Amino acid sequence: MDSRLRTLLEDLYADGVDHDEAQPDRLRRRRNLEPGSAELLTLVLRAAGARTVVEVGTSNAYSAIWLADAVRDTGGRVLTADVEEWPDAAANLARAGVEAVVERRLVDGGALLAGLADASVDLLFLDSERVEYPGWWPHPVRVLRPGGVLAVDNVLSHPDEVAPFLALVAEHGGFESTTATVGKGLFLGWRRA
């Protein structure tokens, strides 16, 4: 990552923290991925050679920028989805110079995943309303290719909200997984062949 992009991401993160502290409505907060989590996630993306990356939860596109920078190294693309249009998402992607490798969609995460082909995703990153994830089952697993990576943010900060979904993943039995104690907790699962 070049210094210009790193500075932009630092500014977006700081702005997001300030915005969230002043915003009483939780649903209007940006709730950006923490920088340490973003660094780990994009390292995993690069190591896995992920080319088809799907993010559910665009917000202001902070994490989409991280993912997009990483897929430029793998020759891939990012599909990011949110249920609403965040006013600065498109502008932030353009400022970062990554809009050519990012497709944005306004759609519910469950509907997005239901419409994706089997085994078509190399890395799936869930960072939206955690209590909705179990209702999306089995699509988060169905869309992942063997050897693909499932990443879920906020597993330590909101353990009760993600527990039902992580239980489904564990019951599936097709994953090697861990929770990295960075940021607010990042679950990483590798789908067995």
Quote the pLDDT of residue 36.
Answer: 96
Domain span including residue 85: 32-191
Give pLDDT tens digits for 51-84. Answer: 999 999 999 999 999 999 999 999 999 999 999 8
Residue 127: CB atoms within 10 A of its CB come to 26
- Distance of alpha carbon 70 from alpha carbon 44, whole angstroms: 10
Quote the pLDDT of residue 86.
Answer: 85
Instruction: Determine the Cα angle at 7 with ends 32 and 33, to 5°.
Output: 15
Give pLDDT tens digits for 85-117. Answer: 888 999 999 999 999 999 999 999 999 999 999
The CATH number of the domain holding residue 121 is 3.40.50.150
Give pLDDT tens digits for 9-49. Answer: 999 898 888 887 888 987 777 788 999 999 999 999 999 99
Q: Is residue 146 part of a domain?
A: yes
Domain count of the fold of the chain = 1
Q: Is residue 103 part of a domain?
A: yes
